[in-house]
Structure 1
């Protein structure tokens, strides 16, 4: 399916995911997040609230979302 969500970031917990999705939404990008248990997560072992979450957007918005997130993530 060509409109499957694309992961643009992984953050340590749900509050961070919601904050970043809020930022993307304020720029007109539909965003969602969900827990991820991927072993390659940079936050594995960190105790973020709800565990690591991946941030998902439509493929058409992925490049713009990554640019926006690059400006606010370390």
Structure 2
């Protein structure tokens, strides 16, 4: 089974008690997000962005299993 290496930052890493973890492959970001929220209920009420290969994803995107996935908490600029 292919696994993604997922990185979590800030409060999300604290909630998940891990800054990096392996997660089963899913064919697109929508399926991945749904599976993450199902297996980690603490993400259900969390606001966060998903980045694939260091690019924020705003819509469903296909995945091939080689991507770097990151969960990013809300951040403010200045």
TM-score (norm 1): 0.34
The structure with the largest helix share of the pair is 1
TM-score (norm 2): 0.33
